Amino acid sequence: MKTCAIVDLLTNSKTSINEHYPKLKNIQVIGVDISEQRMHLCRNIVEKYHVNKTTCGDEINKNVKSRISLYCADGKTFGTNLFDPSTLIFDSIVALEEEAQKGERKRMNKSARARHNRKLRKVVSDEMKSKSNHEGTDKDDVIITVPLFDHVLVDAECSTDGAVRHMMHKLKKHDTACTQNLKLTDTNNLLSLVKLQKDLINSGFRLLKPGGILVYSTCSLSTEQNEDVVSWLLQEYSMDAYLIPVSFADEFKIDDNKDMIFEGSLGGTVRFHPNVVIQTEVDFNSRNAMFGGGFFLAKIGKRVT
Amino acid sequence: MKAELPQHLKPIPVSWLPKQLSFYAIPITYSLVKSNLFKDGRIYGMDVSSGAAVSALLLKDHDRKCNFDDNRKIIMNRSFDNQTSLRVLDLCCAPGKWLLSFKYYYQYHIAS
């Protein structure tokens, strides 16, 4: 019902990745979200685990540098001529430099803020310059302005009907969003939500490198927002996109998974049914504890042409 | 964490996700935010279903074996031998747990 990832234990094995990328030196992770409020929270979390010396831990592997940048921008147009480069609100290299310089001072004064903004602008212009020329225009004649990505995650906005814990929390507060989920039940609302999801997956796919991997996910279990969106993309990019079938139940040989993890109506996609068992201390056991919220995911590859 | 939890409530490793991702189930009554491990940045909370998305995106462990045509085999065998940098994009990233899981996964799983 509740899970966490333990950072320290991640050092236990150093296998798989090395086989795929033996010379890897730099990882660049870019996060985009449209909501200023959510992005503020996101920035705090990234600062805690990546910048702040007392909470970010020791950098165990000095051979590989990771950089995280955050844009408070519309995911539908990110990385194209339609997106505004000044939406970069955080870059971990700039943040780490400033962390090293600032010493005791907590707040930035006017000139420090101006310097900060100049640095961020330079990060964006460097990013755009590093785009190679062959990564040309998209089929909708949208010009892509950033280098393409190896991995893209599109966890689209959805009607959140699978997020049971979140819904129960709302129910306690007598929030009508869970008893009248208009995003799901009102036809027009649902249509505009599905349109947004198609625009997001389309945007993610056009920013994907040939040979790269995209995962589309939602915390809804409605077919319109999941299988239908993925099928639409596969049709729209029938020459380039293909579904990579995944399964979480077979590989790990746990029979118990069978009533929690299902194949979607589009073969090769996965649906996780929500775990509604409340884990009190008394009945905390491995069977019930291992599953979380309702969730859908599909893995899509881009052909090398 | 074991020290912070009563004896009978040990965190349980999530068996259907690869060990490298280090996902553990904890009792709902255990407050992550109040724990010292969380305050020190040594753990972060994430729904296990979201962990599945990370795993599908970065790893091949869950890919079902199927008979791809030759064209697809070529795609699968694309060589990454000379790639020195890797770019990852998250289009609806808040609150940011996924960004962290990408960073930790890549940083810790490359032989130094």
DSSP per-residue string spanning A249-285:
STTTT-GGGGGTEEE-SSTT-EEE--------STT--
Task: Examine residue A292 and state whether it is found in any structural domain, yes or no.
Answer: yes
Read off the DSSP letter of residue B64. Answer: P
In this complex, the residue of A17, A204, A292 whose CB is nearest that of residue B49 is: A292
Residue A162 burial by CB count (10 A; 0-12/13-18/19+): exposed, middle or buried? Answer: buried
* C-beta atoms of B26 and A2 within 8 A: yes
In this complex, the residue of B14, B29, B74 whose CB is nearest that of residue A281 is: B29
Residues A50 and A186 in one domain: no
Task: Examine residue A94 and state whether it is found in any structural domain, yes or no.
Answer: yes
Predicted confidence (pLDDT) per residue in A156-211, tens digit: 999 888 887 777 777 777 776 666 788 887 888 899 999 999 999 999 999 999 99
Most B CBs within 10 A among A28, A29, A208, A277, hence the mutation to make, goes to: A29
CA angle B42, B48, B49 (to 5 degrees): 145
Residues A173 and A265 in one domain: yes
Cis before B95? omega within 30? yes
Q: CA-CA distance, B10 to A52, in Å (whole number)?
A: 29
Of A81, A98, A129, the last residue of a domain is A129
Chain A: residue whose CA lies nearest to B5: A281
Structural domain of A164 = 149-302
Length of chain B: 112
In this complex, the residue of A18, A261, A286 whose CB is nearest that of residue B12 is: A286
Q: CA-CA distance, A116 to A91, in Å (whole number)?
A: 10
Segment holding B24, helix H or strand E: strand B23-25
Residues A294 and A174 in one domain: yes
Chain B: residue whose CA lies nearest to A41: B95
Taking Cα atoms as reference points, which of A88, A296, A78, A29 lies closest to residue A200?
A78
Phi first, then psi: what are they for B63, rounded to 5°?
A: -65, 130
In this complex, the residue of A2, A46, A153 whose CB is nearest that of residue B91 is: A153
Residues A125 and A158 in one domain: no
Per-residue pLDDT of chain B (112 residues; tens, 9 = 90+): 556 666 666 788 888 888 888 888 887 777 888 888 888 888 888 888 899 999 999 888 888 876 555 455 545 545 566 788 899 999 999 888 889 888 888 877 664 4
Predicted TM-score of the model (pTM): 0.89
Of A74, A97, A129, the last residue of a domain is A129
CA distance to partner chain B, nearest, from residue A219 (Å): 9
Contact between A2 and B62 (Cβ < 8 Å): no
Residues A199 and A268 in one domain: yes
Predicted confidence (pLDDT) per residue in A43-52, tens digit: 999 999 888 8
In this complex, the residue of B29, B80, B112 whose CB is nearest that of residue A61 is: B112
Predicted local distance difference test score (pLDDT) of residue A99: 83
Contact between B16 and A290 (Cβ < 8 Å): yes
Task: Examine residue A168 and state whether it is found in any structural domain, yes or no.
Answer: yes
A54 neighbourhood in chain B, CB within 8 Å:
40-41
Residues A121 and A178 in one domain: no
Contact between B53 and B98 (Cβ < 8 Å): yes
Q: CA-CA distance, A1 to B4, in Å (whole number)?
A: 19
Residues A154 and A125 in one domain: no
- C-alpha torsion angle, residues A179, A41, A290, A17 (rounded to 10): 140
Residues A296 and A161 in one domain: yes
Task: Examine residue A245 and state whether it is found in any structural domain, yes or no.
Answer: yes
* C-beta atoms of B101 and A12 within 8 A: no
Contact between A153 and B53 (Cβ < 8 Å): yes
* C-beta atoms of A153 and B11 within 8 A: no
How many domains, in total, are found in chain A? 2
Residues A163 and A243 in one domain: yes
Predicted local distance difference test score (pLDDT) of residue B111: 47
CA distance to partner chain B, nearest, from residue A22 (Å): 6
Of A77, A101, A129, the last residue of a domain is A129
Task: Examine residue A277 and state whether it is found in any structural domain, yes or no.
Answer: yes
Length of chain A: 305
Which CATH number is A298's domain given?
3.40.50.150
Task: Examine residue A138 and state whether it is found in any structural domain, yes or no.
Answer: no
Task: Examine residue A12 and state whether it is found in any structural domain, yes or no.
Answer: no
Residues A163 and A263 in one domain: yes
Q: What CA–CA distances, in Å, run from A176 to A133, A180, A189, A193, B102?
A: 51, 6, 16, 19, 35
* C-beta atoms of B57 and A215 within 8 A: yes
Residues A296 and A189 in one domain: yes
Residues A183 and A275 in one domain: yes
From the DSSP assignment, how many helices (H) and strands (E) are in chain A?
Answer: 9, 10
Segment holding B105, helix H or strand E: helix B97-108
